[in-house]
């Protein structure tokens, strides 16, 4: 009978939906506390979005039992504020509408009031409104992602202050925050930005896997070192993808398709689908997501006589199963996979063309897989969340190495092919216990453990005229790394708006590296085995003051850290000075302010920061094109971040962001170079972005949505070496869109790079010819996309 009912529910949903079900009732256990905190607990326990909680003052009596969303809101707010249930998963809180609202909640208006939504984030390991956190955080919700057509990290950059990304190609890029760059190349150093899929880290020293942002609830970007909560690898911040979770109550499904045409390029297409299935009502639900993308190429290789060589395909999906074990405990199982294949790189030689001349195709692959199990619930001490995950990340690149053959002592060779492959298997366990209740003291304590095994063989093959390929260089390397950490944070509300928070993380990292290098001809074969242990303490201190109107000012000191490691590759054995690279540390000082003014129609955020970076790690290349890692020296950065969102009326909304900074080298390590350029490479002194959106009802129940985006990336230099540091940047990007929503349908047209400009987004592509020819990475030419989507 239950199976039949489930099948009927699915079939009815596909055919248009069954009769309206009774309102869902949620098991709630919310203690008596400040009303704003009680509303946050409601959002977490009912898995709904509640914006503007700061507008509800006073204390709430709490709840314990099963309630509908409206019943819970009535009891928790008790007339202290008004609420609008915009849809079954979204609530907007606003100041009470006169004395009548204190006795009876006002009915929802036909058109919601023009306010800027206050987003809840979990990037600080507990659910908090963005505007109440003493940190520089940007959060982009699903509505903004859909309205702007953002499907990857490169699109997020336009809406986020202080965020930049390289443009080597899909699955090859590095995300950078707050102008803190360790160089443009990716190698042995751990990423400066911690990248997370929900609660699981998805990269170590790998390029961004460029996960498709399909069925995503929000994107959270935390700027500044997050070593206290996230440990090593978050030295400049955290980029977090928050996926939509299974809904235990409601069947829903969605299908979306896209076709696109690029000037002088080949066509592109995308398709993605989602289905949410309540298997046992209010107890078990399954959510499935799948997608396939083909991005057409737009660069030509005149030597290989091939057009549009840089085509990329991306396919993947996610599955999530949510089980409500009891009123207080929830078990979640999840899996995600993605396979990304690029036929070629996307750089050219020359400044005004879309062509180059290589001897071989430079293909790239980046495959990602994750499995995770999470348990969350209440204990007598507080809320416990435990997450156990397995991550497999495999990526490879191929390069034309012909330009560097003279260094490999084979005068007869005329073709060189370099292939590098990396496979990382990682196990991660993170358990965190957070306090519950409305007292002045809040705390959390966590225990973290991770173990990874990385195989990274590389090989260079040459081909004499008329001969077969043969290997002249091999490096078979394996790295095993283990990390354990104990971390915590405590905040005390002293009353009258003042709150002090202290936190820290004590960690130990153990590394073992084995490498077997074989060199034929002009070099030295050898075996390399080394072990090391790195200990670290990352503190965090913040002091904040909340004004009676909800505005906030704060001061923050935080610290980030990356462990050291070993170099093993190269034609000759690394010298004693190059054999190891040391840990680096970044200490951050910032002062910030946040405010919602003009009746919550204008949201303002500003942060001034000063960063000190010691023993900066950087990935570099020998003259042979083979990689190594070094400590370049010490640096600093001082800057200003600005974000603003304004909704003057029901139709218009504006967002803008900007970063002004000056990243520079203050001390050069003698073992690295005699001199370097004064600026940190790869990041501009100035960048900004803006979004304008307009919407209004047309033709009855249809809604027209128009958006315009622009972003500017200032000039920067590519490398630390002043002799090999071409200028890049100094360009604008843009996107225009027009959409019509007529539930359940949505149709949209997007125009990317409407001015068809060719700014140099990234002056690098191939390490073996770098410095010999000018390498340029142009923007994708003007691209027009048509999107059609349907909800079920």
Domain boundaries, the chain: 21-113, 237-791
Q: What is the mean pLDDT of residues 586-604?
A: 93
**Res 22: pLDDT:** 62
Domain spanning 21-113: CATH 3.55.50.30: yes
Strands (E), 296-363: 300-301, 312-324, 329-342, 348-349, 355-356
- pLDDT band for 9, please (50, 70, 90 cuts): very low
Tens-place pLDDT, residues 628-675: 999 999 999 999 999 999 999 989 999 999 999 999 999 999 888 877
Which residue in this structure is represented by tokens 């990857």? 152
Separation of alpha carbons 449 and 427, rounded Å: 8
Tens-place pLDDT, residues 23-62: 778 878 787 777 877 888 788 777 777 877 777 877 888 8
Least confidently predicted of 64-68, 665-669, 731-735: 64-68
Q: Is the pLDDT of residue 105 over 50?
A: no
- pLDDT band for 3, please (50, 70, 90 cuts): very low
Separation of alpha carbons 332 and 169, rounded Å: 34
Tens-place pLDDT, residues 478-523: 999 999 999 999 999 998 999 999 999 999 999 999 999 999 876 7
Q: What sign for the dihedral angle of Cα 766, 772, 777, 778?
A: negative
Separation of alpha carbons 641 and 630, rounded Å: 30
- pLDDT band for 97, please (50, 70, 90 cuts): low
**Res 119: pLDDT:** 75
| Fold of the 237-791 domain | Maltoporin; Chain A (2.40.170)
**Res 116: pLDDT:** 63
Beta bridge partners of residue 339, listed in sequence order:
315, 367
Neighbours of 308 (CB within 10 A): 19
Contacts of 240 (CB under 8 A, 6+ apart): 123, 195, 196, 198, 219, 220, 221, 222
The three-state DSSP-derived secondary structure of 529-553 is: EEEEEEEEEEEEEEEEEECCCCCEE
Calculate the CA 157 to chain-centre distance. 10
* Cβ atoms of 240 and 202 closer than 8 Å: no
The token duo for 667 is 């001390």
Q: Which of 595, 593, 697, 696 is nearest to 653 (CA)?
A: 696
416-to-172, 411, 586 alpha-carbon distances in Å: 22, 12, 40
Tens-place pLDDT, residues 243-285: 999 999 889 999 999 999 999 999 999 999 999 999 998 899 9
Q: Phi and psi dihedrals of 230, rounded to 5?
A: -115, -10
Q: Is the pLDDT of residue 8 over 70?
A: no
Neighbours of 62 (CB within 10 A): 17
Separation of alpha carbons 53 and 296, rounded Å: 45
Percentage of the chain surpassing pLDDT 90? Answer: 62
Percentage of the chain surpassing pLDDT 70? Answer: 94
Tens-place pLDDT, residues 552-566: 999 999 999 999 999
Q: What sign for the dihedral angle of Cα 161, 609, 661, 776?
A: negative
Q: Is 304 helix (H, G, I), strand (E, B) or coil?
A: coil
Q: Is 7 helix (H, G, I), strand (E, B) or coil?
A: helix
**Res 115: pLDDT:** 56
DSSP 8-class letter at 146:
H
- Counted residue by residue, the chain has a size of 792
Tens-place pLDDT, residues 360-399: 999 999 999 999 999 999 999 999 999 999 999 999 999 9
Residue 116 or residue 308, greater confidence: 308
The three-state DSSP-derived secondary structure of 174-212 is: CEEECCCCCCCCCCCCCCCEEEEECCEECCCCCCCCCCC
CA atoms within 13 A on the CB side of 644: 14
Separation of alpha carbons 313 and 170, rounded Å: 9
Separation of alpha carbons 783 and 263, rounded Å: 6
**Res 108: pLDDT:** 40
**Res 65: pLDDT:** 81
Separation of alpha carbons 199 and 195, rounded Å: 10
Residue 30 or residue 534, greater confidence: 534
| Average pLDDT, rounded, for the chain | 89
Tens-place pLDDT, residues 417-460: 999 999 999 999 999 999 987 689 999 999 999 999 999 999 99
**Res 112: pLDDT:** 45
Q: What is the mean pLDDT of residues 586-603?
A: 93
Peptide bond into 744 cis (omega under 30): yes
The bridge status of strand 470-495 relative to strand 498-519 is antiparallel
Separation of alpha carbons 4 and 326, rounded Å: 25
* pTM, two decimal places: 0.90
**Res 103: pLDDT:** 37
Q: Which of 538, 48, 522, 404 is nearest to 247 (CA)?
A: 48
Contacts of 62 (CB under 8 A, 6+ apart): 30, 31, 32, 33, 38
Separation of alpha carbons 155 and 236, rounded Å: 20
Separation of alpha carbons 553 and 349, rounded Å: 49
DSSP 8-class letter at 684:
-
Q: Is the pLDDT of residue 101 over 50?
A: no
Q: Phi and psi dihedrals of 414, rounded to 5?
A: -125, 0
Q: Is the pLDDT of residue 128 over 90?
A: no
DSSP 8-class letter at 672:
T
Separation of alpha carbons 652 and 623, rounded Å: 54
Q: Is the pLDDT of residue 580 over 70?
A: yes
Separation of alpha carbons 74 and 24, rounded Å: 15
Q: Which of 180, 345, 380, 215 is nearest to 287 (CA)?
A: 215
CA atoms within 13 A on the CB side of 610: 3
Task: Report the run of H or E that residue 595 belongs to, with start and end.
Answer: strand 584-597
Decide whether 21-113 matches 237-791 in CATH topology: no
Q: Which of 660, 637, 788, 603 is nearest to 118 (CA)?
A: 603
Tens-place pLDDT, residues 177-192: 999 999 877 778 888 9
Contacts of 580 (CB under 8 A, 6+ apart): 530, 532, 564, 565, 566, 567
Tens-place pLDDT, residues 698-719: 988 899 999 999 999 999 998 8
**Res 118: pLDDT:** 66
Q: For 295-346, where are the alpha helices, taking DSSP H only?
A: none
């Amino acid at each position: 009978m239950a199976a039949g009912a489930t099948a009927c529910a699915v079939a009815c949903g596909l055919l248009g939906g069954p009769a309206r079900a009774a309102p869902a009732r949620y098991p709630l256990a919310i203690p008596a506390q400040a009303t704003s905190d009680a509303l946050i607990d409601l959002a977490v326990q009912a898995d709904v979005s509640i914006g503007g909680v700061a507008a509800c003052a006073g204390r709430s009596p709490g709840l314990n039992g099963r309630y509908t969303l409206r019943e819970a809101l009535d009891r928790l707010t008790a007339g202290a504020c008004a609420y609008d249930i915009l849809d079954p998963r979204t609530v907007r809180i606003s100041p009470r509408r006169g004395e009548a609202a204190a006795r009876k909640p006002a009915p929802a208006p036909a058109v919601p009031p023009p306010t800027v939504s206050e987003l809840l984030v979990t990037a600080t390991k507990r659910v908090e409104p963005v505007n109440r956190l003493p940190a520089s955080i940007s959060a982009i919700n699903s509505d903004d992602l859909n309205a702007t057509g953002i499907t990857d990290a490169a699109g997020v950059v336009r809406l986020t202050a202080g965020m930049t990304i390289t443009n080597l190609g899909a699955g090859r890029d590095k995300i950078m925050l707050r102008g803190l760059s360790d160089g443009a190349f990716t190698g042995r150093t751990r990423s400066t930005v911690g990248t997370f899929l929900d609660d699981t880290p998805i990269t170590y020293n790998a390029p961004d896997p460029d996960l498709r942002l399909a069925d995503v609830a929000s994107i959270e970007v935390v700027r500044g070192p997050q070593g206290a909560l996230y440990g090593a690898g978050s030295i400049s911040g955290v980029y977090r993808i928050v996926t939509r979770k299974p809904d235990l109550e409601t069947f829903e499904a969605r299908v979306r398709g896209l076709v696109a045409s690029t000037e002088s390029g080949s066509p592109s297409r995308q398709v993605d689908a989602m289905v949410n299935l309540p298997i046992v009502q209010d107890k078990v639900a399954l959510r499935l997501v799948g997608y396939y993308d083909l991005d057409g190429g737009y660069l030509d290789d005149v030597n290989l006589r091939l057009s549009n060589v840089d085509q990329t395909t991306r396919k993947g999906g996610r599955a999530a199963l949510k089980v409500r074990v009891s009123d207080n405990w929830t078990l979640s199982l999840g899996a995600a996979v993605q396979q990304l294949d690029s036929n070629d790189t996307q750089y050219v030689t020359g400044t005004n063309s879309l062509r180059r001349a290589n001897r071989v195709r430079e293909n790239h692959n980046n495959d990602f897989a994750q499995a995770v199990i999470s348990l969350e619930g209440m204990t007598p001490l507080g809320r416990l969340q435990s997450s156990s995950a397995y991550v497999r990340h495999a990526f490879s690149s191929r390069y034309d190495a012909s330009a560097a053959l003279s260094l490999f002592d084979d005068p007869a060779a005329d073709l060189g092919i370099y292939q590098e492959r990396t496979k990382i298997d990682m196990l991660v366990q993170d358990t965190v216990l957070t306090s519950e209740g409305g007292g002045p003291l809040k705390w959390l304590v966590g225990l973290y453990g991770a173990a990874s095994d990385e195989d990274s063989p590389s090989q260079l093959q040459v081909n004499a005229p008329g001969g077969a390929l043969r290997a002249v260089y091999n490096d078979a390397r394996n790295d095993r790394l283990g990390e354990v950490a104990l971390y915590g944070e405590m905040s005390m509300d002293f009353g009258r708006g003042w709150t002090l928070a202290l936190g820290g993380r004590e960690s130990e990292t153990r590394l073992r590296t084995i490498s077997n290098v074989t060199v034929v001809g002009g070099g030295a074969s050898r075996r390399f085995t080394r072990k090391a242990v790195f200990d670290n303490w990352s503190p965090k201190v913040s002091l904040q003051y909340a004004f009676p109107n909800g505005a906030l000012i704060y001061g923050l000191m935080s610290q980030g850290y990356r462990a050291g490691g070993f170099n093993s590759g190269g034609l000759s054995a690394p010298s004693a000075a190059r054999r190891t690279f040391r840990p680096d540390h970044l200490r951050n000082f910032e002062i910030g302010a946040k405010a919602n003014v003009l009746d919550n129609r204008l949201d303002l955020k500003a942060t001034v920061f000063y960063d000190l970076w010691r023993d900066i790690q950087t990935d570099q290349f020998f003259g042979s094109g083979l990689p190594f890692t070094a400590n370049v020296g010490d640096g600093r950065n001082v800057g200003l971040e600005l974000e603003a969102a304004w909704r003057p009326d029901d139709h218009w909304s504006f967002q803008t962001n900007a970063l002004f900074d000056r990243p520079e080298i203050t001390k050069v390590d003698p073992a690295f170079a005699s001199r370097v350029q004064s600026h940190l490479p790869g990041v501009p002194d100035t960048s900004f972005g803006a979004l304008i959106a307009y919407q209004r009802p047309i033709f009855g129940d249809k809604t027209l949505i128009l958006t315009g985006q622009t972003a500017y990336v200032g000039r920067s230099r590519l490398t630390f070496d002043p002799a090999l540091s071409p200028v890049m940047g100094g360009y604008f990007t843009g996107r225009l869109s027009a959409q019509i929503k007529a539930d359940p349908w949505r149709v949209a047209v997007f125009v990317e790079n409407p001015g068809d400009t060719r700014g140099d987004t990234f002056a690098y592509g191939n390490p073996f010819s770098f410095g010999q020819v000018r390498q340029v990475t142009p923007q994708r030419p003007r691209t027009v996309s048509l999107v059609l989507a349907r909800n079920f």
